[in-house]
Structure 1
Amino acid sequence: MNKRVLFDFEIEFTNGGGIQGQEFRLDIDGDDISDEDLARYIVEDMRLLMVGKVKILNKKIINEKHKRRPADDEI
């Protein structure tokens, strides 16, 4: 069974400003993901710099087929 996480997020930057996302979906391995791991995943995957505070809001684990190909899949 495939699991995804559906959530909202707010990211503040240490040099001012920020970004947010609503009803964002990400593929996950396993049945759950901590807020800390999810925040780290977003920051690394989006290659964000100078990140301050990250808030994860309205997190739900859903059953839905993964959308992203595994990195080791051949094209």
Structure 2
Amino acid sequence: MSQYRAVFDAIVTFSNEGGLQAQRFRVDLPSAEVSDEVIAELFVTSLDLLMVESAQVSDVEIIEEPHKGTRGGPSDPRLRPSGL
């Protein structure tokens, strides 16, 4: 079964002022067909960011690549039911 990752740039704005930018960041995807909103959510979750007012992604490229274990992503072992 194929696994997919997103490669993208991101801009995060925090509700307590300040921000964060990322270039060519990668996250695991549940499928090749996901929205920019889902990718932004995976990005924020993967970094455990708090007080995020907004997160925008751009220059998104979906690639076929094995998952690396993105926190909150489809291969995150913390999200698997116990006993599996």
Q: TM-score range by the shorter chain?
A: 0.7 to 0.9
Question: 5+ residue gaps in structure 1?
Answer: none
Question: 5+ residue gaps in structure 2?
Answer: 70-74
- Count how many residue pairs are aligned between Structure 1 and Structure 2: 74
Distance verdict in 2 for CA 1:66–1:44, change over 3 Å: closer
Identity, % of aligned positions:
36
Root-mean-square deviation (CA, aligned residues, Å) is: 2.0
TM-score (norm 1): 0.82
* Structure 1 stretches of 4+ moved >2 Å: none
TM-score (norm 2): 0.74
CA distance in 1, matches of 2:58, 2:8: 6
- Counterpart in the other structure of 1:33: 34
Greater share of residues in strand: 1
Q: Which moved more, 1:12-21 or 1:40-49?
A: 40-49
